[in-house]
Amino acid sequence: MDTDLVFLVGLLIILIIISAYFSGSETAMMSLNRYRLKHRAEKGDLSAKHTQHLLKKPDQLIGLILLGNNFVNILAAQIAAIISLSFFGENSLFKTTLLLTAIILVFAEVIPKTLAVISPEKIALPSSWVLRFLMFLFYPVILLLNKLANGIIRMLGVGTLNRDSDTLNASEIRTVVEEAGSRISHKHKEMLFGILDLEEVTIEDIMIPRSEIYGIDLTGEWLDIVEQLTSSRFSRVPCYSGNVDNIEGVLHMRKVRQFLLARDDFSLDDLKSLISDVYFVPLTTDLYVQLINFQSKRERMAFVVNEYGDIEGLVTLEDLLEEILGDLSMENTLNAQDVFPQDDGTFLVDGAANIREINRIFNFGLPTDGPKTINGLITETMEDIPDVGTTFLINGMKIEIVKTLERTVKIARLSADDSKRRSS
């Protein structure tokens, strides 16, 4: 009697361990990071490849695990009943059932599933070898059970399980990057966010406005043109006749300077012969498309035109790369030209300053879904050209009009709202 009791109790313990294995395996498989798993499989990890194979048909995997788990639990319940009836009498059956239920819940469900959630790879990858073997062994039974279950589901008017592909949209990728924490440096995060934003930003958001285009007027004095050629800090310079509307082309300054050094009789006609054709792009082109176009056409500069063909501005490859990499210049030219920090913590900002640029550098948090410049933002908000001294708030930033010129705001003072500053 004692030997039989020891055998049955031992068998019961083994069944509870097997039940814990199935429960933990199920949770571990469903908790795996699919992208880390794919990476390991591509590196040649056989366990990861087996796991991927199983997860391609999750309904069959779940069917296998539930088949094994339920079979083991039912068998354990039967053995517990035999032990109770044979050795302790009928009066102990209810107590045995309660005890077995508690044991299975704690040791075969809660503990293994909790461990599986904490370390899914440590449980799922080794389990994949056993589960693949069991899948091969019991495949006809599992297939029959799945067909029966799917048929009943269809009779209820519900579509059968069809797992979506493991793809992420831009917003989900952004969340993944944000949740990476210190494992990705702040600079690298900013670069990734810049790439993700390329399709949401158009050329209009980053272009150099028409009024700020630096170029060479070919109708000007020759000595003035030569002075511009020798002193220009740009590698490519637009050339026009009279104004930008009459654009002639683009000069590659390296070629021009070679001619200037090699020839004393360098003339305007020689200069015109070095001018390259102009590349035009629509105002509404998103940055991702334009980056591809720059690459395919082997261009680095483009003139931006509106729907009527009028030139609105200029965009360069460097402007696009700065959206990803940040400022590429050795020193912050925007800080020197458009924004002037004051001793009292405020900033004097040129009305023509680009909102996206100053937000990126100074973290002002001004809205970028409307006007592109400070002047445009102010005039749209006020619906008028405000008087000097006018003050208002936008997104927690206090804006004071310092100087106006004709129909534009020339200089504004920006500072954080006092209440926001105190709360922070």
Q: Are 112 and 20 spatial neighbours (Cβ–Cβ below 8 Å)?
A: yes
Query: How confident is the model at residue 395, as a pLDDT?
Result: 85
Q: Are 364 and 348 spatial neighbours (Cβ–Cβ below 8 Å)?
A: no
| pLDDT tens figures, 7-24 | 888 899 999 999 999 999
DSSP state of 286: B
Query: How confident is the model at residue 5, as a pLDDT?
Result: 76
Comparison of pLDDT for 90 and 266, the residue scoring more? 266
**Average confidence (pLDDT) over 144-170:** 71
Q: Give the chain's domain count.
A: 3
Residues 233 and 291 in one domain: yes
Query: How confident is the model at residue 314, as a pLDDT?
Result: 93
| pLDDT tens figures, 117-139 | 999 999 999 999 999 999 999 99
Separation between Cα atoms, residue 424 and residue 413, nearest integer Å: 21
Written as one letter, the residue type at 147 is K
185 occurs within a structural domain = no
397 occurs within a structural domain = yes
Q: 339 by DSSP, 3-state: which?
A: strand
Residues 246 and 370 in one domain: no
Residue of 103, 122, 167, 92 whose CA lies nearest to 25: 122
Q: Are 361 and 338 spatial neighbours (Cβ–Cβ below 8 Å)?
A: no
Residue of 266, 316, 263 whose CA lies nearest to 291: 316
% of the chain residues with pLDDT over 70 = 92
Q: What tokens does 199 get?
A: 């399709």
Residues 140 and 7 in one domain: yes
Separation between Cα atoms, residue 368 and residue 395, nearest integer Å: 11
| pLDDT tens figures, 281-328 | 999 898 889 999 999 988 889 999 998 889 999 999 888 888 777 665
Centre a 10 Å sphere on the Cβ of residue 131 and count the other Cβ atoms it contains.
24
Q: In the predicted model, what is the mean pLDDT of the chain?
A: 84
Q: What tokens does 349 get?
A: 């900002």
Residues 252 and 113 in one domain: no
Residues 30 and 149 in one domain: yes
Residue 166 pLDDT > 70, yes or no? Answer: no
| pLDDT tens figures, 202-259 | 888 888 888 888 899 999 888 888 888 888 888 889 999 998 989 999 998 888 877 7
Residues 371 and 310 in one domain: no
Residues 346 and 393 in one domain: yes
Residue 422 pLDDT > 60, yes or no? Answer: no
Q: What tokens does 80 get?
A: 């517990």
Provide the CATH number for the domain around residue 248.
3.10.580.10
Residues 271 and 406 in one domain: no
Provide the CATH number for the domain around residue 400.
3.30.465.10
What's the sign of the alpha-carbon dihedral 234, 240, 244, 247?
negative
243 occurs within a structural domain = yes
Q: Are 339 and 353 spatial neighbours (Cβ–Cβ below 8 Å)?
A: yes
189 occurs within a structural domain = no
| pLDDT tens figures, 89-115 | 777 778 888 888 899 899 989 999 999
Residues 249-274 as b/e (b if ≥16 CB within 10 A, e otherwise) read ebbebeebeeebeeeeebeeeebeeb
Residues 22 and 73 in one domain: yes
Which residues span the domain enclosing 248? 198-325
299 occurs within a structural domain = yes
Residues 321 and 254 in one domain: yes
